Structure 1
């Protein structure tokens, strides 16, 4: 199958595949680019991402890092050339430079503020979803996974709300896909 993707997302290169014998072929490889996130003019984090859904990622990442609680906390978002992202908050707050960080087990390593674990609240909900609905959404997710099908080197996250609202994301980092979905759904 012939895949068409932006050159900012993928590059072609020769690879060697083994399936009983070694065969050289041309493959699509994902481009991962460093994004530098600045909050209120202060450097916060460098994150490797595929270059799409950066705003969704940034909002989701700042939310899961305990920096913002809603999109109302952000007064300005701007992404400049060379993937520098600038976020300005309505109520400036310390970013945790003097706080305790926990290093996570992500592929590239990561860190989160310890305080975010203390703030996790139990969700009391009667929400239920049937196994059939889960399987149907999984089929939709697979159908919409062109980038994964073409490269076999991205993770995909998919959210399906009870109101029919859906959001999907791709990235090399599986944690990035979750932050993109959170940013795409919570902060739409």
Structure 2
């Protein structure tokens, strides 16, 4: 397992007094992760090391490449090493279960994925829009408004890496009653979502009906799309929504909540699920 945080030297400047103070600082690690299916490279993303198997499974599910976690037989870190000969744990090899195969071709990208990028680099807008297998709009879940307002604080209470660095996003999957089933952190908001979906999928079949995806970041297109691909009927974001996120949530029938700062939030689609 690679390091989640590291220590570096930093100089803090006070422009008013001219003072300069040197001290060590704890920052989040960002390293590449290559995911392979068998011997074939699938994608490379910049991520915070840790929960790499959850990330690999979540990515395969939210991209529509696999339909269930049990289509994976084994996952292993390859024995890649750095220039000093030390293992990096930056390559995960996925072996599919007997009889399993990818359900669609991997998304064509024009560049590797960065920690800020979920669907950027795709060859066309049409390629970005992966269609969910699930009728999320038909999910009849009802969520209390008080539960929605409390979710960001519940998520924040389970962000140890953010406490140490201030440099990572978080995503959690909760029940309609507000119980967090899993929380994951990463420098990339889309990676955090893939990690938490992959973690829950290892013990529960898709679709994730009657659940809520809560994210510490803004509500962007790729966050809503990943929710749709996992059959999640509601997304709660601390930050702002994007126009395409609102459009997709409306089209998919997802309840999209943003600017969630207790005791207030804003609802952009399917407010009928809130009570």
Give the TM-score range, shorter chain: 0.7 to 0.9
Counterpart Cα distance in 2 of 1:182 and 1:7 = 21
Once the two structures are superposed, the pairs formed by residues 1-40 of structure 1 within 5 Å of their partners are 8-17=3-12, 21=16, 23-24=20-21, 25-40=23-38
Q: How many residues align?
A: 182
State how far apart, in whole Å, the 2-side matches of 1:106 and 1:145 are: 18
Question: Quick check: 117-126 or 163-172, which moved more?
Answer: 117-126
Q: How far apart, in 2, do the equivalents of 1:115 and 1:28 lie?
A: 36
CA deviations on 1:21-70 (whole Å, 9 max, x unpaired) are 46533211111121111102211111221111111111000111221100
Structure 2 CA distance for aligned equivalents of residues 105 and 33 of structure 1: 10
User: Does structure 1 residue 180 correspond to structure 2 residue 195?
Assistant: yes
Residue aligning to 1:3 = none
Helix, strand or coil at the partner of 1:144: coil
Q: Does 1:144 align with 2:158?
A: yes
Structure 1 residues 154, 177: CA separation in 2 closer, same or farther (over 3 Å shift)?
same
Structure with the larger strand share: 1
The C-alpha deviation readout for 1:152-175, integer Å capped at 9, x for no partner, is: 110011111237451101100011
1:9–1:86 distance in 2 versus 1, CA, 3 Å: same
CA shift, 1:105, in A, is 9.3
Q: Where do 5+ consecutive residues of structure 1 fail to align?
A: 1-5
| TM-score normalised by length of structure 1 | 0.80
Superposed CA RMSD in Å reads 3.1
TM-score under structure 2 normalisation?
A: 0.57
Distance of aligned partners of 1:102 and 1:14 in 2 relative to their CA distance in 1, 3 Å threshold: closer
- Per-residue displacement from partner, 1:115-161 (whole Å, max 9, x unpaired)? 86244544111112112112333222112222112211100111112
Residues 58 and 105 of structure 1, relative CA distance in 2, 3 Å threshold: closer
- Note if contact 2:6-2:28 (Cα within 8 Å) is conserved in structure 1: yes
User: Is 1:80 aligned to residue 85 of structure 2?
Assistant: no
1:114 matched to 2:121? The reply is no
Task: Name whichever of 126-135 and 55-64 sits farther off.
Answer: 126-135
Flag the structure with more relative contact order, 1 or 2, with Cα contacts below 8 A and sequence separation at least 6.
1
3-state SS of 1:126 partner: coil
